[in-house]
Amino acid sequence: MSDAAYHHDTPISVRGLKNQFGSTVVHEDLDLDVRKGEILGVVGGSGTGKSVLMRSIIGLQRPTEGEVEVFGNSITEADPDTEIGVRSRWGVLFQGGALFSTLTVAENVQVPLKKFYPDIEPEVMNEIARYKVVMSGLPEDAASKFPSELSGGMKKRAGLARALALDPELLFLDEPTAGLDPIGAAAFDDLTRELKETLGLTVFLITHDLDTLYEICDRVAVIADKKVIAVGTIPELLETEHPWIQEYFNGPRGRAAKASQDRANRAKTGDMDNSARSGSKG
Ligand SMILES: Nc1ncnc2c1ncn2[C@@H]1O[C@H](COP(=O)(O)OP(=O)(O)OP(=O)(O)O)[C@@H](O)[C@H]1O
């Protein structure tokens, strides 16, 4: 494949990544490609460095070694201008939403707009913010509320509205369903899938939620032993012998999530009307 075609099909490419904090090596020789238009689930035990990987990709964490490219631009060696250009092409939902508590939801959504397009008229800013709020499944009146007035699920949606502010091509979600009840989590999964389909987004999604993996992820990358040890569809992953993968997907929670998806698939084809979420949370 030519370089240009590769970058077009592979918006994120990580090669030989190393991250070390003091004497603790979190990543060593980690490689990962994210394909255009996919939802890639990223899993791994606690502390395996999923968030550090995401921070390395979006340029918040300078790696000890290795190369990260986003849309063919080096993040690791970016000069400040390219970095800014690339940054406007992605949106990030951090763990817990990370909203500014002294700003309303609409003002939170406007933070990236003001940073990248400071000359937009205030009325247009307000209009865009309202549109993103509704697109994220919040009632329109949520725009004027403060984060403290929102439920956990609404805060996630507000964080998502902010992540969508700049019409990104790439969306980073760090444990979006953590702390949501099973119905709220399923609704958030549906929204993620809908946004991917309607906006053509590529999604990098860190999760412990097996239902999310089964329901919406096109492929799953597994982090263990400081690397991405496997990446593929869940059936492909199950063919590998790695004990962590086997325990994760074939353990009781993994089996419950699979059974729940099988039921949902049968319901879709009319066999049975039961699409209950397994409720398994990591
Ligand atoms: N800025 C930092 N300074 C020192 N150590 C750090 C820093 N950031 C992360 N770490 C360490 O790197 C390791 C990986 O952290 P990270 O938050 O990426 O894990 P994770 O896989 O996202 O975990 P979890 O599933 O629990 O959220 C942890 O041991 C953490 O303490």
pLDDT tens per residue, range 75-119: 887 776 666 778 889 999 998 778 999 999 999 999 999 988 889
> What rounded mean pLDDT belongs to the chain?
89
- Return the closest-CA partner of residue 105 out of 151, 73, 71: 151
Q: Whose Cα sits closest to atom 24 in ligand 1?
A: 46
Distance, in Å, from the CA atom of 5 to the CA atom of 151, rounded to the nearest integer, reads: 43
**Considering only CA atoms, which residue is closest to atom 17 of ligand 1?**
51
Distance CA 220, CA 162 (A): 25
The pLDDT of residue 276: 54
Helix (H, G, I), strand (E, B) or coil at 246: helix
Pocket probe mutation, ligand 1, options 19, 43, 51, max atoms within 8 Å of Cβ: 51
Which helix H or strand E contains 236, and what residues bound it?
Answer: helix 234-238
Ligand 1 site, CB within 6 A: 21, 26, 44, 46-52
H or E stretch at 6 = helix 3-9
CA–CA separation, 242 and 75 (whole Å): 31
Distance in Å, CA 20 to ligand 1 centroid:
10
For residue 169, the CA-to-ligand 1 centroid distance in Å is 26
d(CA 49, ligand 1 centre) in Å = 5
Question: Which residues make Cβ contacts (< 8 Å) with residue 236, sequence separation at least 6?
Answer: 230
Identity of the residue numbered 66: G
| Residue 281 predicted with pLDDT over 50 | no
Spacing, Cα 82 to ligand 1 middle (Å)? 27
Question: Quick one: which of 220, 217, 213 has its CA closest to 260?
Answer: 213
CB of 144 closer than 8 Å to CB of 106: yes
Q: Which two tokens mark 235? A: 């059936």
Structure-block tokens of residue 115: 């940073």
Which amino acid residue places its CA nearest to atom 30 of ligand 1? 47
Confidence of residue 267 (pLDDT cuts 50, 70, 90): confident
Q: Identify whether the C-beta of residue 33 lies closer than 8 Å to the C-beta of residue 72.
A: no
Instruction: State in Å: Cα 23 to ligand 1 middle.
Output: 13
**122-158: per-residue pLDDT in tens?**
999 999 999 999 999 999 999 999 999 998 889 999 9
